[in-house]
Amino acid sequence: MPLPPPAPDSTCLITGASSGIGSEIARHLARRGHGVTLVARREERLRELADELGQAHAVRAEVVGASVADHDARAELAAEIERRGLTVETLVNNAGYGSAGRFQDLDPDGEEGMVRLNVEAVVGFCGIYASRMVDRGRGVILNVASTAAFQPLPYQATYAASKSFISSFSEALYVDLAGTGVTVTVLYPGPTRTEFDEESGMGSFDQLPSFLVDDPGDVARAAVEGIEAGRRSVVPGAHNVISALGGRFAPRSVLLPALGRLYPFGR
């Protein structure tokens, strides 16, 4: 089993645990007896989740309020976890956000910040923890990408590119770490019922057919089963597998204008 067994001084560090997929991954890991360290900016929400998990599963649930987009904040977070006497044996890089619109109309700071969070924080945390895991001969990293990674997305140019980076980085890292006892799994969710759609300005996923929009608990279950099995990648749900295949293999000259027409900006 690639997932190190639960232990009192071992923790699963989960970024973006204050809502959506991150909260649900924390629930699935705690249900299996793993201690968790919950990280996001909205500390009050993290405390509520930590209380819930501690009571329901008798696990050690720690809270650290931080923006992981910042290099110094990541270093301080790692130091704080050490001060609390914990070893990160599972790292879940989940925090992320998107935007929607023509690139030239979007807030440049928001686009740059997205790269810092969606890309730089993932490389940063892997940089902090991968070598420590290799030294211990075990550990698990879960990086959350998106089906947006499988092709460029007009009107979500930065977001799709950021997730494409996570895909390429994680799948290569899986091979770099082969034989060390450390595994990397990349998760490719499709549209999922969280705060993401409203936060990213895409409009509500309620407009989509309901079979295309996943429950975050189901996505998290697929992710945790994937890391337990040491899988390189997880695409949850047959509809997302089809979308991934279309994104990978359809000619871009046909695909990109068709995708563009799905957005209000492209009609």
Ligand X SMILES: NC(=O)c1ccc[n+]([C@@H]2O[C@H](COP(=O)([O-])OP(=O)(O)OC[C@H]3O[C@@H](n4cnc5c(N)ncnc54)[C@H](OP(=O)(O)O)[C@@H]3O)[C@@H](O)[C@H]2O)c1
Considering only 13, 95, 177, 259, the residue that binds ligand X (CB under 6 A) is 95
Least distance CB 69 / ligand X (angstroms): 4
**CA–CA dist 86, 9 (Å, integer):** 5
DSSP state of 8: T
- Our finding on whether 96 is near ligand X (CB under 6 A) is yes
Q: Which of residues 203-242 bind ligand X (CB under 6 A)?
A: none
* 256 and 154 Cβ atoms separated by less than 8 Å: yes
Task: Give the active site residues.
Answer: 159
DSSP state of 64: E
Segment near ligand X (CB under 6 A); pick from 5-13, 52-60, 93-101, 221-229 = 93-101
Least distance CB 2 / ligand X (angstroms): 22
Least distance CB 218 / ligand X (angstroms): 12
Q: Which residue's CB is nearer to ligand X, number 4 or number 223?
A: 223
- Our finding on whether 195 is near ligand X (CB under 6 A) is yes
- Our finding on whether 189 is near ligand X (CB under 6 A) is yes
Q: What is the CA radius of gyration of the chain?
A: 18
* 169 and 123 Cβ atoms separated by less than 8 Å: yes
Segment near ligand X (CB under 6 A); pick from 25-33, 37-45, 78-86, 170-178 = 37-45
Spell out the long-range contacts of 111-120 with Cβ–Cβ below 8 A and sequence spacing 24 or more.
111/158, 113/69, 114/158, 114/159, 114/162, 115/158, 115/162, 116/69, 116/70, 117/68, 117/69, 118/159, 118/162, 118/163, 118/165, 118/166, 119/162, 119/165, 119/166, 120/69, 120/71
Segment near ligand X (CB under 6 A); pick from 51-59, 92-100, 170-178, 237-245 = 92-100
Q: Which residues bind ligand X (CB under 6 A)?
A: 15-22, 40-42, 67-69, 94-98, 117, 144, 146, 189, 191-192, 194-196, 199
